[in-house]
Amino acid sequence: MKNFHYNKHMFYSQFFTRNFLHTMKKLQFLPLVAGAALLASVTASAQDVIYVDNPKFVAPLVERWIDEYAKSNPHVQIKRAESGAKADLRFTATTSDTHESVGSEAVAYVARYALLPVTTEANPLIGTLSRSRLDKKKLRKLFFAERDLASGEDNNKLNIANPVTVYSGNNPASAAPVYASYFGYSTANLRGKKVSGDDIFLLSAIKKDAAGVTFNTLNYLYDTQTRQLKEGLAILPLDVKKEQREALYSNNIDQAIALLEEEKIDVIPAPYIGVVYSGEATAAAHDFARWVATDGQQYNHDYGFLNPDKKLLALRQQQAPKQILASEK
């Protein structure tokens, strides 16, 4: 009996000793856990954040640039700037083809977007124009009105029997100002109906109107997955060389891109996407801009955009890094 009490005493003694030591080890470990959590929190809060802004039609390409850049720069977080808020970097659509500096801001051109005139396969205008293709003068007459100051009548109509309704965008991010400027007009001269919202809605408008014509970017006109012209659409017959016509009317976006990168065609505007940065932007923002202007170019074609022309590419490689580095000093 005495031996039993002794063993029982030893059992509880060992049990409480083991648990006491285990508890002490846990208590010693807690500061380490708390310290690690605090370090992770500080690291996350120290992460560089870049706010960017861009037109909606170029958003898929910008998203790809952001995703690819993040793979090798996990310490940088790139977010969309809220509407009306100041952005560290702005991607802009422009008609210019040179590097610009405005005040403390500079622009490096990183892509081009082509604008093609388009209608639907059901439009009888296709048959009419196939015999008399559209040159720059005819495109002006088709899309733009010139009012006689005395009579107020339109004296710039294209002389065709088929009725035509022009549809164009009606918001600041639309390609309408760029297209009008290329042909020497303002958006006030555009004929027909104005469509609110993103330019993608122009395609819905012409599909509902057999007489409808418009113009739009390659990435909206083509399916960037299948690389084919979207079903039911037809590029208006343009006055171009035979070999250019074969590539342009192949209905394949890659052939169109290759043609427009290789040759300048005066009936097709191919303006630039520029990234605007300032001396006030962070070093991380400048580094992302530099990356887009170099490594990011490989993704342009995937999303229906052209690369800058070779002469501008050489100019950009000489000037853009210097501009960015100069603004960091």
Pick the CATH number of 48-113+271-328 from 3.10.180.10, 3.40.190.10, 3.40.50.1980, 3.30.530.20: 3.40.190.10
Residue 286 exposed, middle or buried by CB count within 10 Å (0-12, 13-18, 19+): buried
* Architecture label for domain 115-262: 3-Layer(aba) Sandwich (3.40)
Distance separating alpha carbons of residues 223 and 67, to the nearest angstrom: 21
Whole-angstrom distance, CA of residue 214 vs CA of residue 128: 17
Phi (first) and psi of residue 156, to 5 degrees = -130, 25
Q: Residues of the chain with pLDDT > 70: what percent?
A: 74
pLDDT tens digits along 81-124: 988 788 999 999 875 554 455 556 788 889 999 999 999 999 99
Q: What percent of the chain has pLDDT over 90?
A: 61
Query: Among all chains, which residue has been given the structure tokens 């040179």?
Result: 98
Chain-centre distance for alpha carbon 304: 10
β-strands 89-94, 48-53 pairing: parallel
DSSP per-residue letters across 226-261: T-BBPTTEEEPPB---HHHHHHHTT-BHHHHHHHHH
Digit-coded pLDDT (tens) for 156-207:
678 787 789 999 999 888 999 999 999 999 999 999 999 999 999 999 999 9
Of 24-28, 140-144, 321-325, the range with the highest mean pLDDT is 140-144
* pLDDT reported for residue 106: 80
Q: What is the reported pLDDT for 123?
A: 95
- Neighbour tally for 153: CB within 10 Å: 11
Cα 210 from Cα 215, distance rounded (Å):
15
The mean per-residue pLDDT over the stretch 138-160 comes to 76
The span from the CA of 18 to the CA of 149, in Å, is 102
* H or E element, residue 212: strand 212-217
CB 213 within 8 A of CB 117: yes
Say how far apart CA 192 and CA 163 lie, in whole Å.
Answer: 11
Res 21 pLDDT > 50 = no
> What's the CA gap between 305 and 316, in Å, rounded?
18
Residue that is written with structure tokens 């048959």 in the block: 127
Q: What is the pTM of this model?
A: 0.79
DSSP state of 39: H
Inter-residue long-range contacts of 285-290, CB under 8 Å, 24+ positions, other chains counted: 285/50, 285/88, 285/89, 286/324, 286/325, 286/327, 286/328, 287/73, 287/76, 288/50, 288/69, 288/73, 288/76, 288/78, 288/89, 289/89, 289/108, 289/320, 289/324, 290/320, 290/321, 290/324
In whole angstroms, give the CA distance from residue 287 to residue 277: 11
Count H helices and E strands in the chain, helices first. Answer: 11, 11
Q: What are phi and psi of 139, to 5 degrees?
A: -65, -40
Nearest to 306 by CA among 262, 267, 265, 249: 262
